């Protein structure tokens, strides 16, 4: 389940399946008894506002959740929630930073798995969290808490599960079906124009390193390789397909370059390599076949991000030479 030193890149990609985890603000936690009393009060108020419930079969077992949740805290998968019109009252800091969601998150509080008091104050009727997060038992006392393990589901399965959770399975499935049709058609059109064996590489950089990505590490990799079926250079297959990403040195960068390059540009990263002869002499660079995307806007694999990147890729790959 949505960018960079290695720890941050791992965090943000947990975020590609939508699992962002932010830094916790300093605070003094309530005693357990007070937290329980407040949580019970919140639950009662939410029940009065929305008495309808459904049973969601989560990975940790069946859980009763609101049939129409109105106050969701999305510690993970927030972009998926937004794509289905879910109402967020709390969100992780990484989703909040993403420029694709700025207008959709106005007034939404930034929270983490450690900011329990703030979450209680938000009076959520549903919490969505990652299995790696802290305080899952305490979150469950505040509101029904559904947990997802990053990597257990692929990007389309994850969207469908969020649809089931929000009682919007039909809407989620409709988008999945439409997305598959659109990307398959785009892939065929691109191959017809550029050749069946055309290859694409996806590179990114941070303050210290260069990276190349496999087929499930956000930045549009799911679109390019899985949905559209475009080719991956052999070096990328050998080194990045399994682990998801691979750290490169500038010297070997040309060996990983495809016929086209998608360059995830990090405003806070070191882009000095772009001025080197090594970069400039890569055939894709010399032939103006570099597609630039914004790292912050490309670090998730939800419908909003995928549709945004699909349009960029189609326009670039199908542009008249």
Judged by phi (left if over 0) then psi (alpha if -120 to 50, else beta), residue 143 lies in: beta
Q: Are 133 and 41 found together in one domain?
A: yes
Q: Are 74 and 195 found together in one domain?
A: no
3-class DSSP state of 28: coil
CA 129 to CA 112: how far, in whole Å? 9
Q: Are 311 and 189 found together in one domain?
A: yes
**Which two structure tokens, joined as six digits, stand for 294?**
């914004």
| CATH number, position 227 | 3.40.50.1980
Task: With respect to residue 174, please indicate whether it lies within any of the assigned structural domains.
Answer: no
Q: Are 131 and 251 found together in one domain?
A: no
CA 294 to CA 223: how far, in whole Å? 16
> Which of 134, 149, 164 is the last residue in one of the domains?
149
**Which two structure tokens, joined as six digits, stand for 11?**
């965090």
Cα distances from 103 to residues 1, 3, 96, 97, 159, in angstroms, run 22, 21, 10, 11, 21
Task: With respect to residue 311, please indicate whether it lies within any of the assigned structural domains.
Answer: yes
The domain total for the chain is 2
3-class DSSP state of 304: helix
pLDDT given for residue 297 in this prediction: 98
pLDDT given for residue 211 in this prediction: 98
Contact 150, 17 (CB under 8 A): yes
CA 287 to CA 293: how far, in whole Å? 18
In this prediction the pTM is 0.84
pLDDT given for residue 321 in this prediction: 60
List the domain range (segments joined by +) for residue 44.
Answer: 19-149
In the chain (321 residues long), the average pLDDT of successive 10-residue segments reads 38 38 30 39 42 93 98 98 98 97 97 98 98 97 97 97 98 98 98 98 97 98 98 98 97 98 96 98 98 98 98 94 60
Q: Are 113 and 48 found together in one domain?
A: yes
pLDDT given for residue 11 in this prediction: 37
CA 218 to CA 213: how far, in whole Å? 9
Phi, psi of 275 (to 5 degrees): -95, 0
Q: Write a three-state SS string for 269-280.
A: CCCHHHHCHHHH
* Count of C-beta atoms within a 10 Å radius of residue 166: 26
Q: Are 311 and 231 found together in one domain?
A: yes
3-class DSSP state of 222: helix
């Amino acid at each position: 389940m949505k960018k960079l030193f290695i720890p941050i890149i791992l965090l943000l990609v947990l975020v590609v399946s939508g699992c962002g985890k932010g830094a916790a603000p300093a605070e003094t936690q309530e005693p357990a008894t007070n937290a329980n009393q407040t949580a019970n009060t919140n639950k009662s108020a939410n029940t009065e506002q929305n008495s309808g419930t459904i049973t969601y079969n989560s990975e940790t077992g069946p859980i009763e959740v609101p049939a129409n949740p109105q106050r969701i805290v999305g510690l993970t998968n927030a972009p998926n929630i937004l794509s289905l019109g879910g109402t967020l009252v709390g969100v992780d800091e990484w989703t909040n930073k993403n420029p694709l969601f700025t207008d959709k998150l106005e007034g939404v509080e930034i929270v983490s798995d450690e900011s329990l008091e703030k979450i209680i104050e938000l009076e959520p009727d549903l919490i969505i969290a990652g299995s790696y997060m802290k305080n899952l038992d305490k979150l469950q006392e505040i509101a029904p808490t559904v947990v997802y393990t990053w990597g257990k589901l692929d990007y389309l399965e994850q969207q469908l599960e969020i649809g089931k959770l929000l009682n919007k399975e039909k809407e989620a499935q409709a988008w999945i079906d439409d997305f598959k049709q659109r990307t398959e058609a785009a892939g065929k059109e691109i191959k017809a124009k550029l050749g069946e064996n055309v290859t694409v590489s996806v590179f990114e950089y941070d303050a210290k390193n260069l990276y190349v990505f496999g087929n499930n590490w956000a930045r549009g990799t799911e679109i390019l390789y899985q949905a559209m079926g475009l080719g991956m250079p052999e070096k990328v297959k050998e080194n990045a397909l399994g682990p998801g990403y691979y750290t490169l040195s500038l010297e070997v960068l040309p060996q990983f370059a495809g016929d086209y390059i998608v360059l995830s540009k990090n405003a806070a990263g070191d882009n000095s390599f772009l001025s080197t002869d090594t970069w400039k002499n890569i055939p894709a660079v010399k032939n103006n076949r570099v597609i630039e995307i914004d790292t912050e806007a490309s670090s998730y694999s939800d419908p909003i991000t995928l549709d945004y990147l699909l349009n960029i890729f189609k326009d670039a790959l199908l542009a008249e030479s």
